Amino acid sequence: MVLIKWILIATASGICVFYGYKASSRLKKREESINDFIYFFYALKNEMAYSRRDIEETLIRLIVSANKHMEKFICNVINELKSTNMSIKDAFKSSIDMCENSGDLLFDHEDVLIILNAAVMLGTTDFEGQKEVIENTIEQLKIKMFSAKDVSNKKGQLYKKLGILASAAIIIIFI
């Protein structure tokens, strides 16, 4: 009977700590996802400036320098553009949804709107217009990243500590 009690205590404690750390890691994942897109838009702007190619060819050239999450995103955008004749905005939306569902990226609604607003302008205006849109998008994403970093630091620690505190409370109650 005592052994069962200790197993239940250990299991309940482990679950509390796990969920605390999991909630904290989701906040960190959002921060990393925003940061990935900041680098993506910097690379996109630079590639557009030097290559002067259409958006599909520019995206293909970006795959080489992308991390695995962004590579998956870019490849999906390219596939959507080629196979379904989607607009760039729809291809971005579809790719973001796919990457979020697979756990590669994590955003809130406002983050996605910022990215999609930039996607609307890609390939539809001249280079200077696209460059301006990308620079504005980068600035907006930087603001969101600093906000996400602040939330991650504050709430991330809170979730971890709450998980440990709940674990300690369960141990005290059962002992």
pLDDT for position 40? 85
User: Percent of the chain at pLDDT above 90?
Assistant: 0
Question: pLDDT-derived band of residue 156, with 50, 70 and 90 as boundaries?
Answer: low
pLDDT for position 85? 75
In sequence order, which residues have a C-beta less than 8 Å from that of residue 117 and are 6 or more positions away?
A: 137
* Averaged pLDDT score across all residues of the chain: 78
pLDDT for position 88? 81
CA dihedral 35, 56, 104, 33 (to 10 degrees): 10
Summarize the confidence of residues 68-89 as an average pLDDT: 80
Summarize the confidence of residues 63-68 as an average pLDDT: 74
Amino acid at 83: S
pLDDT tens per residue across span 89-100: 888 888 888 877
pLDDT for position 91? 84
pLDDT tens per residue across span 105-143: 777 788 888 888 888 887 676 777 778 888 888 888 888
pLDDT for position 123? 66
pLDDT at residue 57 tops 80: no
Q: Is 132 buried (19+), middle (13-18) or exposed (0-12) by CB count in 10 A?
A: middle
Do 174 and 140 contact (CB within 8 A), yes or no? Answer: no
pLDDT for position 19? 72
pLDDT at residue 20 tops 70: yes
